[in-house]
Amino acid sequence: MRTKANTWTARALIGASVLFILVMLALPLAMILSEALHAGWSAYWKAISDSYTLKAAHLTLTATAAAVVLNAVFGLAAAWAITRFEFPGKRLLTTIIDIPFAVSPVIAGLVFILTFGRLGWMNPILTAYDIKIVFATPGIVIATVFITFPFVAREIIPVLEARGNDEEQAAALMGAGFFTIFRKITFPHIRWALLYSVILCTARAMGEFGAVSVVSGHLRGKTNTLPLHVEILYNEYQFTAAFAVASLLAAAAIVILVARNIVEYMVKKEDGGHVR
Amino acid sequence: MKSLSRFFSFFLALATFFAASLFPATFVPAAELELTNVSYDPTRELYESFNKAFQKHYKAKTGKNISVVQSHGGSSKQARAVIEGNAADVVTLALAYDITAIEKAGLIKAGWQKSFPNNSSPYTSTIVFLVRKGNPKNLKDWGDLIRDGVGIITPNPKTSGGARWNYLAAWAWAHRQYKGDEKAVKDFIAKLFKRVLVLDTGARGSTNTFVQNGQGDVLLAWENEAYLALKEQKGKFEIVTPGLSILAEPPVAIVDSVVDKRGSREAATEYLHYLYSDEGQRIAGQNFYRPSNPVIAKEFGDRFDLKVNLVTVDDPIFGGWNKVQSVHFNDGGVFDQIYTR
């Protein structure tokens, strides 16, 4: 139940939150833009068209795309399994999905070093087939996938649970196959939740720093993602360039936010909103 | 539903644009050869200009194109990454002990320090104080640093090579000051680290803390790092050379197991040898490292105080890196005892 904001408490609360948002979010964002453009557009363009920046952007997009695709497939599978079947260890699986949210990204990175690094237990196999994982692109991808794993399953499980499986059982009784049921009944219910989770996953994947920093080795032009590149530029006294690259990430974040709001609106419009 | 499909096409167009803009980067003609140089924190500018000169030199000498991939970070952290599998052809680190750690992991052959001249250190440096303009706290020597109200910035000796040189320089001064009284020396070092405001993991992080974020009254820094800060931020800082400091010898080495696997030994050797050429030495000098070749060092005589009193890590008070590492910096060593008390 909402009331009009005319009480003293309401005004104070609104004032405080607006002030907080201005200081904590809007000002830093404005700072990024002003620092990025403070040497003019040509310096800005030079910074974002630099070959190291482009390579970093390429790697960030590769890792993000891989994370989105892999997590959509496995997240969907996990959500389906958890909400539609009874099996031993189901609760454990539900908990395990949340591990990446609970574990510090730095620890996640170290775990991959200990697994796939030269001293890791997987190393003999990897060397035998001449596969490089950490300090190379696959390591960056794995770290990103790990960090963003829970998003899809976490969004879809509540939707599937709220829906129940009556319609699917009815369809099965009428002789529909697995894929028909999925395509015609399950998927239409979850498509917005899926899109929503994919958007969140994209945002998180593009900005990931901690885990990627550990497995990267910071090889310039090879294992450097955009967030890592911002740090390098900043450490090299190239402040304009650092903020220019940071503004790219900020722009991507804003696009993602707008997309999220549109999807949220569509969800509400379509079925009263099962997405939280 | 219409607005939705419009949104999708916008989203798709954006994605296509992003993807398309990336293709030119993929089709840049690949260099025939590639070396990876894993280095420590403050050498970023040095190797940026050195790599360009080396590319030209290598092309002129062999007719082949070569590119160098750089990685920078705290020296020990970088050594750790190489041990864990970061495939460096050459390592150019802050101190011999970090390269010895890679040797102990079996990646570099014993005796690497005799492979190149001057203990495999093509350039040297020392530790100085960077203070704010006008030296408001009047910090002249190590003894002034432990006065009340002085805020010190240094990286962490556990992860940073430069920080270990800082620690040893302070130790050497205190050892002379207190005439070898170990308890007094330890008390001094303990007081010094009590005054430390921020302990970053690498030298460049500390410089940024001091220079950009305005923390502290004095930065204990590599001489080269201090000069670079002076150059980047003109008129805001001063360098104070303490009465006694340490001769820091950052060594270089070929990572044998990597070059043998990649077949890059010849190029890696040429790369490190070129650091000792007149041009390589001058590039080091221009980037505020002291050239190891005395003739070239003289060319930079107006820049460096070549007469400053410098102690080496092989001095009897330290007894070389292996001893220093196990006595001072290993877990439970003197640094841990001092820092946690």
Number of domains in chain A: 2
CA terminus-to-terminus distance, chain A? 18
DSSP secondary-structure letter at B279? H
Collect all residues with Cβ–Cβ distance below 8 Å to A52 and sequence separation of at least 6.
A220, A221, A224, A229
Collect all residues with Cβ–Cβ distance below 8 Å to B336 and sequence separation of at least 6.
none
Task: Please tell me whether residues A31 and A45 are part of one structural domain.
Answer: no
> Are A232 and B87 within 8 A, CB to CB?
no
What does the CA dihedral B132, B136, B141, B147 come to, rounded to 10 degrees?
A: -120
- Give the burial class of A102: count Cβ atoms within 10 A of its Cβ; 0-12 exposed, 13-18 middle, 19 or more buried: exposed
CATH 3.40.190.10 fits domain B127-247+309-340: yes
Which pLDDT band, with edges at 50, 70 and 90, does B31 fall under? low
Task: Please tell me whether residues A27 and A105 are part of one structural domain.
Answer: no
Question: What is the residue range of A14's domain?
Answer: 1-37
Name which of B201, B228, B178 is nearest A231 in CA terms.
Answer: B201
Cα nearest neighbour of B42 on chain A: A236
Task: Please tell me whether residues A118 and A134 are part of one structural domain.
Answer: yes
Task: Please tell me whether residues A136 and A23 are part of one structural domain.
Answer: no
Judge whether A144 and A67 are in contact, CB under 8 Å.
yes
- Count residue pairs from A and B with Cβ separation < 8 A: 74
Task: Please tell me whether residues A16 and A49 are part of one structural domain.
Answer: no
Name the residue among A116, A219, A259 with its Cβ closest to that of B69. Answer: A219
pLDDT at A274 > cutoff 70 = no
Q: What is the pLDDT of residues B145-192, one digit of tens each?
A: 999 999 999 999 998 889 999 999 999 999 999 999 999 999 999 999
Report d(CA B92, CA B129) in Å as an integer. 24
Judge whether A14 and A5 are in contact, CB under 8 Å.
yes
Task: Please tell me whether residues A156 and A192 are part of one structural domain.
Answer: yes
As a whole number, mean pLDDT of residues B303-313 equals: 87
Report d(CA A229, CA A122) in Å as an integer. 29
Task: Please tell me whether residues A136 and A228 are part of one structural domain.
Answer: yes
pLDDT of B307 reads 81
Task: Please tell me whether residues A6 and A45 are part of one structural domain.
Answer: no
Task: List C-alpha distances in Å: B154 to A172, B150, B218.
Answer: 69, 13, 9
Task: List C-alpha distances in Å: A133 to A116, A225, A228, B189.
Answer: 6, 16, 18, 42
Judge whether A171 and A235 are in contact, CB under 8 Å.
no
> Are A119 and B4 within 8 A, CB to CB?
no
Exposure string for B10-49, b = 16+ CB within 10 A, e = fewer:
eeeeeeeeeeeebeebeeeeeeebbbbbbbbbbbbbbbee
Helix (H) or strand (E) holding B76: helix B75-83
- Give the burial class of A179: count Cβ atoms within 10 A of its Cβ; 0-12 exposed, 13-18 middle, 19 or more buried: exposed
Task: List C-alpha distances in Å: A88 to A165, A268, B157.
Answer: 20, 35, 50
Exposure string for A42-58, b = 16+ CB within 10 A, e = fewer:
eebeebbebebbbbbbb
3-state helix, strand, coil in chain B (%, to 5): 50, 15, 35
Interface mutation vs chain B, best among A135, A222, A258, A268, most B CBs within 10 Å: A135
A124 in contact with chain B, both atoms CB, cutoff 8 A:
no
Name the residue among B24, B71, B87 with its Cβ closest to that of A218. Answer: B71
Tell me what the pLDDT averaged over chain B comes to: 90
> Residue for token digits 């002034």?
B144
> Are B45 and A255 within 8 A, CB to CB?
no
Task: Please tell me whether residues A80 and A154 are part of one structural domain.
Answer: yes
With helix as H, strand as E and coil as C, how does chain A read?
CCCCCCCHHHHHHHHHHHHHHHHHHHHHHHHHHHHHHCCCHHHHHHHHCCHHHHHHHHHHHHHHHHHHHHHHHHHHHHHHHHHHCCCCCHHHHHHHHCHHHHCCHHHHHHHHHHHHCCCCCCHHHHHHCCCCCCCCHHHHHHHHHHHHCHHHHHHHHHHHHHHCCHHHHHHHHCCCCHHHHHHHHHHHHHHHHHHHHHHHHHHHHHHCCHHHHHHHCCCCCCCCCHHHHHHHHHHCCCHHHHHHHHHHHHHHHHHHHHHHHHHHHHHHHHHCCCCC
CATH superfamily assigned to domain B33-124+249-299: Periplasmic binding protein-like II (3.40.190.10)
Judge whether A27 and A20 are in contact, CB under 8 Å.
no
As a whole number, mean pLDDT of residues A44-70 equals: 94
The domain that contains A263 carries what CATH number?
1.10.3720.10
Domain boundaries defined on chain B: 33-124+249-299, 127-247+309-340
As a whole number, mean pLDDT of residues B52-68 equals: 96
Handedness of CA B70, B47, B108, B223 (dihedral sign): negative
Report d(CA B121, CA B110) in Å as an integer. 16
Task: Please tell me whether residues A167 and A254 are part of one structural domain.
Answer: yes
> Are A235 and B205 within 8 A, CB to CB?
yes
Name the residue among A57, A113, A262 with its Cβ closest to that of B7. Answer: A262
DSSP secondary-structure letter at B325? I
pLDDT at B17 > cutoff 70 = no
Residue A177 domain-assigned (yes or no): yes
pLDDT at B5 > cutoff 60 = no
Q: Which residues of B touch A (CB under 8 A)?
A: 4, 7, 11, 14, 18-19, 21-22, 24-26, 28, 36, 38, 41, 44-45, 69-73, 81, 83-87, 105, 204-205, 208, 228, 232
Which pLDDT band, with edges at 50, 70 and 90, does A235 fall under? confident
Residue A69 domain-assigned (yes or no): yes
Residue A276 domain-assigned (yes or no): no
> Are B84 and A266 within 8 A, CB to CB?
no
Report d(CA A3, CA A230) in Å as an integer. 45
Q: What is the pLDDT of residues A101-153, one digit of tens each?
A: 999 999 999 999 999 999 999 999 998 998 999 999 999 999 999 999 999 99
Task: Please tell me whether residues A202 and A228 are part of one structural domain.
Answer: yes
Q: What is the pLDDT of residues A81-91, one digit of tens each?
A: 898 888 898 88
Which pLDDT band, with edges at 50, 70 and 90, does B2 fall under? very low
pLDDT at B240 > cutoff 50 = yes
> Are B7 and A259 within 8 A, CB to CB?
yes
Q: How far is B90 from chain A (nearest CA, A)?
A: 13
Asked whether the domain spanning B127-247+309-340 has the same topology as the one spanning B33-124+249-299, the reply is: yes
> Are B81 and A135 within 8 A, CB to CB?
yes
Task: Please tell me whether residues A1 and A62 are part of one structural domain.
Answer: no
